[in-house]
Chains A and B, each alone.
Chain A
Amino acid sequence: MKKQRCIVKIINISRQGEVKHFQVRIPENATVITGIETAVRMKGLVSISNNSFVVPNIGPGMGNPPVSDFSPNPFGSDLAIPVMRSLVGELKLQSCEEANIFYATDITDPSAQENLEKVPTPSAIIENVWTHGYKRELEEVLINGNTTMLAGLYKDKLGAMQGRDATYDVFLYVWYKLENKKQ
Chain B
Amino acid sequence: MIKTIYKRFDLKVTEAAKTVSQSFELDKNIVAVKGLYITSDRRDLLYFRGSQRIEINKDELFPENYLSELLMSGINVPVNNRYYDLGNVDPGNKIVKMDFADSNSNVPFTAYTVSLFLKCDKDDSK
Contact = CB atoms under 8 A, between A and B. Distances in A.
Interface string A132-149: 111110000000000000
Contact of A41 (B64, B67, B108): B67
B119 to A, nearest CB: 14
B66 A8 contact: yes
Contacts of A134: 73-74, 76-77
A173 B73 contact: no
A5 B64 CA distance: 12
B65 A116 contact: no
Interface residues of B, number: 29
Nearest to A136: B70
B47 A130 contact: yes
Contacts, number: 85
Interface stretch (A55-63, A70-78, A85-93, A95-103): A55-63
A60 B60 CA distance: 33
25 contacts: A5-B60, A6-B63, A8-B66, A10-B65, A42-B106, A44-B106, A56-B106, A57-B108, A58-B44, A58-B106, A116-B76, A117-B76, A129-B47, A130-B47, A130-B69, A130-B72, A131-B43, A131-B74, A131-B75, A132-B76, A133-B47, A133-B74, A134-B74, A134-B76, A171-B67
